[in-house]
Amino acid sequence: MPRFDFDLITIGAGSGGVRASRLAGKYGAKVAVIEESRPGGTCVMRGCVPKKLLVMGAHFAHGFEDAVGFGWSVEGARHDWAAMIAAKDRELARLEGVYRKLLGDAGVTLVEGRGILADPHTVEVGGKRMTAEKILVAVGGWPIMPDFPGREHVITSNEALDLKQRPRRVVIVGGGYIAVEFAGIFRALGSEVTLVIRSGQTLRGFDQDVRATLAEELEKSGIKIRRESIIRAVAKNPDGYAVTFDNGEGLTVDCVMAATGRAPNTAGMGLMEAGVKLNSKNAVIVDEWNRSSVENIFAVGDVTDRVNLTPVAINEGRVFAETFFNKNPMTLDYANIASAVFSQPPVAVVGLTEEDARKAHDVRLFISRFRPMKHNLSGRDERTMMKLVVDTASDRVLGCHMVGEDAPEIIQGLAVALKCGATKAQFDSTVGIHPTAAEEFVTMR
């Protein structure tokens, strides 16, 4: 008789949990994955995927406007928000089916319900107990809501993705990834958008030139940014929601959305009771092998609050399964992870910001700002910014930053170059593809 029901029980069928479970199953382990919502998790069901579909949908608005400069007549183009949401929902249902099939094909048992640890080897789901040699916690995170009177009227990105109709006037609290992405979606489709940020600039943590350029572009697109501003209260009134700011000013809108960060989903899971140590933000503390303070309990993805990005969670799940189910010990290299913000225009970066690079290096900077070729005809007043941060001593490129159309597609390629330790001289000796925006990265002198 085996000692446990399973070799591995994974709690959470999101990006990290599914990858770990599938691989472990493929390597012959007996695996169960527990999910209380829909397989696919935050990225597929409430994050990256539906968000990007809405970004694409909204971006057509710019396409129609820009097409006029190329001879198109586009009068009468109308957007149907409900039709876009329905199309997005059909795609999510398809993806949910794909995830269920992938788990099934790998021999993984999907258990639907909320998994709670009863002891370090036992998980309880709806009153039923299951045991496993190893437990993987991959329960992700959940939006944090700021605390002010009327917060019950405020939605998060979870609800914003399912709105029945597009709000005509929107206030978005926060200036991070989610805030600027949703600001772009609503604004492109015609909403009046006010971004309320408590500091002086959007996108904390990004390079200063990225932050300044994006804010300028957002403001040019008509998004209002209220800097150093805090919401005191939100109240329902006959015309919508009355928002009161800390300086006493007010604004009535149809929708107030908070995008003020996310917190690990660790509450009420029995983790602390089982001896799993959490940090001050309630994230599971793990070592480089994704092992928690309890020897047989591991965690990957946003619940560990390391680098909260889907591909990172997937790779954490991969190295966990390789290490413990394929006798192939490996850890994840967190250096030079590229990331993108799907604002309009988008941002993408890899490597160090100028500020961080200066802490340890003497740097040379290369910055290019230009009007994309398309907008010479479209007339749109949108500029692209590209920046390279180079280590003076070694000539190595430490950081690549871009704000502009296709930035995520361009930076992904440059991430490989940075991983290989490319120097500025090697960038310069690379022949560009003409005419592209990307070629600017190899012609900066």
Residues annotated as catalytic (active site), given as ranges: 434
Which range in 12-20, 176-184, 290-298, 316-324 contacts ligand NDP by CB under 6 A?
Answer: 176-184
Work out whether 342 is an interface residue with ligand NDP (CB under 6 A).
yes
* Nearest distance, CB of residue 331 and ligand NDP, angstroms: 21
Q: Evaluate the omega torsion of the peptide bond into residue 435 and state whether it is cis, within 30 degrees of 0.
A: yes
* Nearest distance, CB of residue 154 and ligand NDP, angstroms: 11
* Backbone conformation region of residue 264, classed left if phi is above 0, alpha if psi is from -120 to 50, else beta: beta
Which range in 170-178, 220-228, 263-271, 423-431 contacts ligand NDP by CB under 6 A?
Answer: 170-178
Instruction: Give me the DSSP letters along 227-289.
Output: TT--EEEEEEETTEEEEEETTS-EEEESEEEE---EEE--TTSSTTTTT--B-TTSPBP--TT
Residues 143 and 257: beta-carbon distance below 8 Å = no
In this chain, which of 6, 177, 324, 441 binds ligand NDP, going by CB under 6 A? 177
Task: Give the integer Cα–Cα distance in Å for 1 and 98.
Answer: 34
In this chain, which of 261, 270, 275, 372 binds ligand NDP, going by CB under 6 A? 261
* Nearest distance, CB of residue 273 and ligand NDP, angstroms: 28
Residues 230 and 174: beta-carbon distance below 8 Å = no
Residues 78-117 binding ligand NDP (CB under 6 A) are: none
Nearer Cβ to ligand NDP (199/376):
199
Work out whether 154 is an interface residue with ligand NDP (CB under 6 A).
no
Work out whether 41 is an interface residue with ligand NDP (CB under 6 A).
no
* The dihedral formed by the CA atoms of 282, 288, 292 and 296, expressed in degrees to the nearest 10: 150
In this chain, which of 32, 259, 319, 415 binds ligand NDP, going by CB under 6 A? 259
Work out whether 346 is an interface residue with ligand NDP (CB under 6 A).
no
Residue number closest to ligand NDP, CB atom:
176
Edge-to-edge, what's the strand order for the sheet holding 231-237?
A: 231-237, 240-245, 250-253
H-helix or E-strand containing 164?
none
Residues 354 and 387: beta-carbon distance below 8 Å = yes
CA distances from 21 to 107, 239, 284, 295, 316 (A): 9, 49, 19, 19, 12
Nearer Cβ to ligand NDP (101/204):
204
Nearer Cβ to ligand NDP (130/173):
173
x/- letters, 197..226, toward ligand NDP (CB under 6 A):
xxx----x----------------------
Nearer Cβ to ligand NDP (302/382):
302
Nearer Cβ to ligand NDP (278/340):
340
- CB neighbours of 98 closer than 8 A, spacing ≥ 6? none
* Nearest distance, CB of residue 180 and ligand NDP, angstroms: 8
Work out whether 339 is an interface residue with ligand NDP (CB under 6 A).
yes
Task: Give the integer Cα–Cα distance in Å for 14 and 126.
Answer: 20
How many residues interact with ligand NDP (rule CB under 6 A)? 23
Nearer Cβ to ligand NDP (309/398):
309
* Nearest distance, CB of residue 183 and ligand NDP, angstroms: 11
Work out whether 343 is an interface residue with ligand NDP (CB under 6 A).
no
Nearer Cβ to ligand NDP (40/176):
176
The candidate with the shortest Cα–Cα distance to 16, out of 305, 349, 414, is: 305
Work out whether 341 is an interface residue with ligand NDP (CB under 6 A).
yes
* Nearest distance, CB of residue 269 and ligand NDP, angstroms: 20
Percent helix, percent strand, percent coil in the chain, to nearest 5: 35, 25, 40
Q: Side chain identity at 290, as an amino acid letter?
A: N
Q: Would you call 212 helix, strand, or coil by DSSP?
A: helix
Which range in 125-133, 177-185, 360-368, 409-417 contacts ligand NDP by CB under 6 A?
Answer: 177-185
* Nearest distance, CB of residue 207 and ligand NDP, angstroms: 14
H-helix or E-strand containing 352?
none
Work out whether 14 is an interface residue with ligand NDP (CB under 6 A).
no
Task: Give the integer Cα–Cα distance in Å for 376 and 363.
Answer: 33
Residues that bind ligand NDP (CB under 6 A): 146, 173-179, 181, 197-199, 204, 259-262, 308-309, 339-342
